[in-house]
Amino acid sequence: MYRPAFVPIHPDAIERPAGHGEALFREGDPCDYVFELCGGIARGVSFMASGERQISAFFFPGDQIGLPVAESYRFTAEAVTDVRYVCHSRARWHESLVRSWREEGRLLPSICAEQDPIFRRGIIIGRHGLLVRLCAFFISVIDRLPEEDGMIVYPLSQVDVAAYLATSPESVCRGLRQLREMRVIAAPERERMVVLDRARLEAIASGAHS
Amino acid sequence: MYRPAFVPIHPDAIERPAGHGEALFREGDPCDYVFELCGGIARGVSFMASGERQISAFFFPGDQIGLPVAESYRFTAEAVTDVRYVCHSRARWHESLVRSWREEGRLLPSICAEQDPIFRRGIIIGRHGLLVRLCAFFISVIDRLPEEDGMIVYPLSQVDVAAYLATSPESVCRGLRQLREMRVIAAPERERMVVLDRARLEAIASGAHS
DNA sequence: CGGCCCATTGACAGGCATCAAGTCCGGTGG
DNA sequence: CCACCGGACTTGATGCCTGTCAATGGGCCG
C-alpha cells in the first residue's frame, strides 16, 4: 500500500500515478502533504468502528485534498479510477495559499474543493427518499464527469454510490432502474450514461413528486 | 474532537447580542463578515427547494462561523439560545489568520471550528439506525454543552435535533424515551439531562447494539 | 476455464415517516 | 390574576420504504 512517507520535500509539480483502489493517504495520518488531483477520480472514505464504510466525497481533477484542516487526515483518500496527482508539502502549500491571498485577495478557493463537496454530501443524504438522494447526487457530479460521444463517462461502482448515499447497493440498483424506466437517464453500456431529461432529474432532486 | 481555546481574535471587537431565533447571516449573502460566537448556541440551517429544513451543524462559544470558504454563505446561521457574538470584517479576519500562522505555524485552527462539525454531521447521519445516530450526536455535543449541578444544560429542541439528524421529531422523541428506559440518560427536567452510562452511549454510537 | 466481484432481481420483515390526537408549557392580553 | 393560544412534546396506529438475505447472471482477469 502506498504511504506518502517517501515523497520528496520539493516535488516541483511532479505528477505521480496511483492505481485503481490505491490509497493516497489514510485517516489518522499526520497532514504532512496536500494532494492535488490532476487526472482521474478519488474518493474520501471513512470507516466506522463497526466496520461500516462511508464515502464522504468524490474528488475530481483540480481538487486539492488532504488539507491540514486538522492535525491528521479525517478520511482515507483512495483512487477510484487510475489517478494522477501532485503532492505539496504542507509548508509550501501554506506559502502559496498566503501568496494567492496577497495577489488576488482570495484566500480560500482551494479549500472549497475539499470542504464544499463534503458539505453538499451532508445536505444530499439528509434528504428523504432514495430517488431524491440519487438525483441530487447526479446533479452534483455530472458536470464534473468527463464526456465522450455525448455520453457521460461514469466510472463509479454502485457499491461506492451506495456508500456515498448511505444506502445499500441494491437500493441504488433499483433507483437506477427506476430512472431508466422513467426515461430520465439511459445507460447504454456499463460505466456510461446519458442524461435524457435533465429538467426532470432536477425536479426530482428538488423534491417534486414523481 | 476539536475544542478551540476561547481566544477572541480581536480584543477591541464589540460583542453583540442576538435573540433566540434571530439570524446572524443568511444563506446566499456575500461573505463579508466572520462571526465569532462568544456565548450561547447557534445552528447552521439550509432550506431545500421543497421547503425541507436541515441543520448542518450546531455551533458553540469559541467557534467561528461564516468563513469565506465560498463567495456567499452556504447556510443561514440562527441563534438557538440567546447569543453573544463578535463579527470581524473579512479583511481583518484574514489578517489575524496570517498572523496566527506566522506566530504559531498553524494556519487553520479556526477553520476547524466550522468545517469539522459539518464533516462529523455527514458521518453521523450516514449511520444506520435511529439510536445509533442519536447517540453519535450526543457524543459529539455533550462535551461542548455547559454543565450545572451535574446536569447538562441542553437547550436544543427535538425539532432541531430531528432536522440535524435527518429524521422526524417523533422519532427523536421515541429514541430519547428508549434511552431513558435503558438508563443510558436521564432527563429530570426539560432542557436538562444527565448521562448515566457514557460507555453504553458510546457503545451504541459505535454500532455495538444492533 | 474458473474464480471473484459487481450488478440484478425477488421475497420478506422491520424500521421509521406520517397522520392524528392529546398533554404540557410559556407567553400574551384581557 | 386568569383565560387563551400557539408551539413543543408525547404517544398510538398504520403503511410504505428500504435494508437484508438469497440466488442468479455477467464481465474481468489471472
Domain ranges of chain A: 4-110, 126-205
pTM, 2 dp: 0.91
Average pLDDT over chain B reads 88
Strand C nucleotides within 7 Å of a protein CB:
6-11, 15-20, 25
Run of H or E residues at B172? helix B169-181
Query: Which residue out of B32, B48, B75, B98 would a mutagenesis test of the A interface target, given it has the greatest number of A Cβ atoms within 10 Å?
Result: B48
**Sheet arrangement for strand A53-59:** A23-25, A76-79, A42-47, A53-59
CA of B169 to C1' of D9 (A): 9
Model pLDDT, residue B81:
94
Q: How far apart are CA A180 and CA B178, in angstroms?
A: 41
Q: Which of A12-21, A157-166, B51-60, B115-124 has the lowest mean pLDDT?
A: A12-21
The full DSSP string for A77-117 is EEESS-EEEEEEEHHHHHHHHHHHHHHHS---HHHHHHHHH
Q: What is the pLDDT of residue A67?
A: 87
Distances (CA, A) of A39 to A63, B10, B139: 10, 42, 38
User: What kind of architecture, by CATH, is found in domain A4-110?
Assistant: Sandwich (2.60)
Positive or negative, the CA dihedral A58, A27, B2, A167 is: positive
Per-chain mean pLDDT for chain A: 88
* pLDDT at site A3: 35
- B61, pLDDT greater than 50: yes
Backbone angles phi, psi at B123, to 5 degrees: -65, -40
Mean pLDDT over residues B11-21, rounded? Answer: 82
Average pLDDT over residues A127-142: 96
Q: Residue A47: beta bridge partners?
A: A53
Task: Residue B1: name the closest of B143, B126, B199 by CA.
Answer: B143
Burial class (CB in 10 A: 0-12, 13-18, 19+), B70: middle
- pLDDT tens for each residue of A83-93: 999 999 988 88
Joined together, the cell numbers standing for residue A72 give 491528521
Q: Are B69 and A166 within 8 A, CB to CB?
A: no
Q: Residue A6: what pLDDT?
A: 38
Supply the pLDDT for residue B178.
96
| ∠ Cα B176 B179 B183 (to 5°) | 140
Chain B residues in contact with A72 (beta carbon < 8 A): none
Non-local (6+) Cβ contacts of A17 within 8 A are A82, A83, A84
| Tens of pLDDT, residues A58-92 | 999 999 999 887 889 999 999 999 999 999 998 88
With CA of A187 and C1' of each nucleotide, the nearest comes out as C7
A159-CA/D2-C1' distance, Å: 63
B194 near B188, Cβ under 8 Å?
Answer: yes
Predicted pLDDT of residue A111: 72
* A98 band by pLDDT with thresholds 50, 70 and 90: confident
The topology (CATH level 3) of A126-205 is Arc Repressor Mutant, subunit A (1.10.10)
CATH 1.10.10.10 applies to domain B128-205: yes
Which one of B97, B119, B128 has the shortest CB-CB distance to A118? Answer: B119
Whether residues A125 and B127 touch (CB distance < 8 A) is answered with no
Residue B94 forms contact with A (CB below 8 Å): yes
Name the CATH superfamily, with its identifier, for domain B16-121.
Jelly Rolls (2.60.120.10)
Residue B33 has pLDDT above 50, yes or no: yes
Nucleotides of D under 7 A from a protein CB: 8-13, 17-22, 27-28
